[in-house]
A and B are shown apart, each in its own frame.
Chain A
Amino acid sequence: MSDIPSSVKPIVRLKDVSIGYELANPLVTIPDLQIYPGEIVAIAGPSGVGKTTLLRTISGLLQPISGEVEVCEKIFPSKLNRGELGYIPQKLGLIRHASVWHNVMLGANAGHKSAWNIFPSSEARASAMSSISVMGLEQKTNEPIRRLSGGQQRRVATARTLAQCPKIIMADEFLSELDEETMKMVLSATIDYMRKNNSSMLVVEHDITRAKSFADRLLVIDDGRVNPFITETTAMEVKV
């Protein structure tokens, strides 16, 4: 990127990485990907192509088959610092029988409390409180997750990540299932957060028009359905 001074280090850097669940059978290759502080990069591609797999690999949950994955200056397999990376899984990963508060506090504690301190800091509580209200969930603070609608649950997962104040957010289709108005609210709250903290975001977004509307860059994972001449599934950058 020409507008980024070369002294700024990328938060995420992938070089000749291939990912997947079987060593012999990689799903996707990513020749080159760098995400700088403050950037939003969207990933699009057909269902089942490996978008979630890419997010899991960058989050350190899955070992890359080959290549170098560097996040926040840590190269896999060395672990990230606590709370640096926020993750909104496609399946949300909320604790169904626990309250909204409990779930959001998990993120807040990761970001604002050391692992050795048993009691949540006042900072963590304040952060949880404000992200719950930003997501418009104050009325539901003490409700168990299982009593919330699909869209409300999605907002809880977003609130959990905002409460954490991560340097980079991995968001897997976090805008799905929301009506137009709520979707805009969640998106603007997330972008607000990023602007304030100079954080970055890698977001899986199957709606390409929407992805183009808010992302700085777009990465398309193509298995030949877009470009019939490619020989292996590759993640390529597309001009926005």
Chain B
Amino acid sequence: MNRGLLFIILITIFIQALLIFDSMLGSWDRLSVGAGTLSNFINEDVWPPDWGVFDPTWSVSCSASPRFDFTCSKAWIGLIETLQIAFVATVFGAMLSLPFSLLAARNLNPRWLSYSSRFLLASFRSMPSLIWAILFVIVIGFGPVSGVLAMTLYTVGYLGKLQYEAMEGMTKPPLDAANAIGLSKFETSFFVVIPESANDLISQAIFMFEYNFRHGTVIGIVGAGGIGYFIDLSLMALDYRSVLAYLILIYVVVIIIDLVSIFARSFFTEEEDILIPSWIEVFTPESIISLFKHTKGQINGKQ
């Protein structure tokens, strides 16, 4: 498309968004007033965070040694449960979504099949995990099992979409080769398409885990287990300092998950093949570096 036209379209979209926001707001003064209220709220009620959420809570009997007694705290117990819910839901969800996304990929299947699979995935996705959670809490009762089921369903819908888009994005020649030599649908799916898009599939699954972890804090509020339950308690007690401490904890864990994702994907990307010397390598003798390298020392182009 013509660049000038593209530019005009983007500008128009942005102006349209501004106009809609303006009509919602009524008066822009509301924002500056709001900013004042916000800073008061933060200074008086929210800051500093209350790290007391890491103290052992009297509601469980703690058998850990004093150095590890934070493992009996509300923050820790809630965090672990949320991580467990997110982990189980992501693993189950990814296993269930993979067959559906293979069916939904248009480069693998006839239109009628791929579109029916897409519609099914969309139906799982159209209800947010919070609504699924309310449903399962009503049907099954309070606790992490409801959380796991709610998130598994949502994961199938959401991750399935990401997966079939990754599969459709793969290059054509491997599929051509597989079709020409007569490999079956099953073989093409599992030995050609999945390995070829493995990098995307893995990073999406880890992203989904992170997503489920963050949303796990929300579904806890409706009683489906996890750290959200404790956040809800603190919110109701107007104890915003504890809430802030919980939020900081969640933020840190999200960053850690991101680092793990980078590490896991490094097995499938080409980044590892490009050698960018780190500052340690620049200042350390090569003989010492080679002791710590698992790849055959490729520094300075040596084999």
Interface residues of A (CB under 8 A from B): 56, 59-61, 79-87, 89, 91-98, 102, 105-107, 109-111, 115, 146-147, 157, 160-161, 164, 166, 170
Contacts and interface: CB of A to CB of B under 8 A. Distances in A.
Given A93-B177, A98-B195, A102-B191, A110 B273 contact: no
Nearest to B197: A97
A231 to B, nearest CB: 32
B182 A79 contact: yes
Interface in B70-114: none
Contacts of B198: 97
B186 interface: yes
Given A94-B174, A96-B196, A97-B198, A87 B191 contact: no
B173 interface: yes
Interface size on B, as a range, is 20 to 34
B273 A95 contact: no
Interface of B: 171, 173-184, 186-187, 191-192, 195-196, 198-199, 268, 270, 273
A79 to B, nearest CB: 7
Contact of B176 (A56, A86, A160, A166): A56
B179 A61 contact: yes
B196 A61 contact: no
Given A92-B177, A115-B183, 14 more contacts: A60-B179, A80-B182, A83-B181, A87-B180, A87-B181, A89-B173, A93-B173, A93-B175, A97-B198, A98-B196, A106-B192, A109-B191, A111-B181, A157-B177
Contacts of A170: 180
A204 to B, nearest CB: 14
B181 A115 contact: no
B182 A91 contact: no
5 contacts: A61-B176, A61-B180, A82-B184, A83-B181, A161-B181
A87 B174 contact: no
Contacts of A97: 195-196, 198-199, 268
Closest CB pairs A-B (n = 9): A93-B173, A93-B177, A82-B182, A87-B180, A115-B184, A59-B180, A91-B173, A110-B181, A93-B174
Nearest to B182: A82
A87 B180 CA distance: 6
Nearest to A109: B187
Contacts of B192: 95, 106
Contacts of A102: 191, 195
Contact of A85 (B174, B180, B184, B268): B180
Nearest to A97: B268
Contacts of B179: 60-61
A157 B187 CA distance: 18
Contacts of B173: 89, 91-93
Contacts of A86: 181
A8 to B, nearest CB: 24
A109 B183 contact: yes
B174 A115 contact: no
Given A102-B195, A106-B192, A115-B187, A147 B273 contact: yes
Contacts of A147: 273
A106 B178 contact: yes
A146 B270 contact: yes
